[in-house]
């Protein structure tokens, strides 16, 4: 089973994935950002946005080629929902809390604004649903620990719990 663990930066993907490495030893966790940097799968760097410019089609092809003989993979990263996956888990965080998290990580004001807007508008959830209809689940990580979030991800992988998308709505806070 190939799983995409995605979400806006700051929602807890990397921290959750690191716990899943120990909790699900039969799965291999791939930190997608590290992979694309190591393999130089970017076309340049956008200094203004402090991010890599990634050709998603090239990334998808390279991931397929590189991991074709591996099974039970968890791809962690904000681009992982663009990959082929049997299951997509979107981590969500209230944009007000997300703003504080990103500021504490030293993100620029512009990058904080861009990511908070993306979360408020459900950008990654919508993209995930468009690409992986019927395979998407979402978890609100706003008021839970990383360990609890990892437990919910594990529940989803094991087929337990109700994490159907569409239950998380930040619009009342922002619109």
Residue 14 in marked binding region = yes
Say what the pLDDT of residue 175 is.
Answer: 59
Say what the pLDDT of residue 53 is.
Answer: 87
Domain total of the chain: 1
What CATH number is given to the structural domain containing 46? Answer: 3.40.50.300
Q: What is the pTM of this model?
A: 0.95
DSSP letter for 11, please: S
Residue 106 in marked binding region = no
In a domain, 13, yes or no: yes
Say what the pLDDT of residue 163 is.
Answer: 95
The pLDDT tens digits of the residues spanning 127-166 come to 999 999 999 999 999 999 999 999 999 999 999 989 999 9
In a domain, 174, yes or no: no
In a domain, 53, yes or no: yes
Residue 141 in marked binding region = no
The pLDDT tens digits of the residues spanning 12-39 come to 999 999 999 999 999 999 999 999 999 9
In a domain, 170, yes or no: no
Q: Is the pLDDT of residue 63 over 70?
A: yes
Q: Is the pLDDT of residue 174 over 80?
A: no
**Which residue range(s) make up the domain with 7?**
2-161
Q: Is the pLDDT of residue 172 over 80?
A: no
In a domain, 166, yes or no: no
Q: Is the pLDDT of residue 44 over 80?
A: yes
Residue 171 in marked binding region = no
For residues 148 and 16, the answer to whether their CB atoms sit within 8 Å is no
Alpha helices in the chain (DSSP H): 13-23, 32-38, 56-66, 95-104, 109-120, 123-131, 146-157, 171-174
3-state helix, strand, coil in the chain (%, to 5): 45, 20, 35
Residue 12 in marked binding region = yes
In a domain, 175, yes or no: no
């Amino acid at each position: 089973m190939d799983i995409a663990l995605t979400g806006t930066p700051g929602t807890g993907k990397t921290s959750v994935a690191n716990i899943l490495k120990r909790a699900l030893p039969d799965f291999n966790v791939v930190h997608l950002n590290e992979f694309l940097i190591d393999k130089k799968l970017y076309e340049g760097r956008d200094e203004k946005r402090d991010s890599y410019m990634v050709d998603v089609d090239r990334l998808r092809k390279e991931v397929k080629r590189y991991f074709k003989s591996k099974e039970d993979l968890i791809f962690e990263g904000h681009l992982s929902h663009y990959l082929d996956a049997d299951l997509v888990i979107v981590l969500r965080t209230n944009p007000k809390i997300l703003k504080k998290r990103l500021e504490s990580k030293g993100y620029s004001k512009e990058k904080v604004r861009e990511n908070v807007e993306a979360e408020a508008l459900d950008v990654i959830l919508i993209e995930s649903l468009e690409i992986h209809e019927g395979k998407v689940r979402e978890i609100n990580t706003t008021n839970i620990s990383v360990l609890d979030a990892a437990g919910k991800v594990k529940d989803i992988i094991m087929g337990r719990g109700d994490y159907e998308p569409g239950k998380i709505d930040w619009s009342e806070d922002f619109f």
